[in-house]
Amino acid sequence: MALAALTRGQAGGMRARRAGRRSTGGARDTGGTILSPDEVLALLPQQEPFRFVDEILEVSDNHIVARYSFRPDADFYRGHFPGHPVTPGVILLECIAQVSVVSLGIFVVALESGLDAVKEGLALFADAHVDFSGIVEPGERVTVSAKRVFFRRGKLRSKAEMHLDDGSMVCSGTISGMVVPR
């Protein structure tokens, strides 16, 4: 059953529990928890200087949309084509992974297994097939959108796209990650 997308404004930081699924008596919470975009962002384990998600605009059980602005003073620009810096493809892939695998995975795991399961697991990159069709220069903002292909046995696969603010596509493809115990 698909849920309507929650935007930051709609969610307003509120959490809701799906009826009848929460454990009682101090046992582990196994009930589904619907997280707001801000709550998903707060649970994202990557931190500065290696966090490539500024805001999550929409999230549901089958899609996510998020943005990131590449800081002109990021250290990797110093050596990646001095004089004409370009964001490395592996950093673009990391940005896509943090949105379409980690952030979407946090939402899906919380929804299906509860907040405790999110805190006990760690989403790791597994594989990707990405086609690059543009570049990202220092200071540019990207929007990453992803749709869930599947989530089973702790593995999430998503189809993702990255676009610049002008709408031009930077890259697209499929990316997978898996949840492992912390």
Residue 153, C-beta contacts closer than 8 angstroms, at least 6 positions apart: none
On average, the pLDDT of the chain sits at: 86
pLDDT computed for residue 7 by the predictor: 38
Q: Place 39 in a pLDDT band, splitting at 50, 70 and 90.
A: very high
Q: How far is CA 93 from CA 5, 88, 171, 173, 174, in A?
A: 24, 9, 9, 10, 11
Statement: residue 14 has pLDDT above 90: no
Q: Could you give all domains of the chain from N- to C-terminal order, each with its CATH number?
A: 6-21+28-181 (3.10.129.10)
Q: Place 26 in a pLDDT band, splitting at 50, 70 and 90.
A: very low
Q: Place 4 in a pLDDT band, splitting at 50, 70 and 90.
A: very low
Catalytic residues: 80
pTM for the full predicted model: 0.84
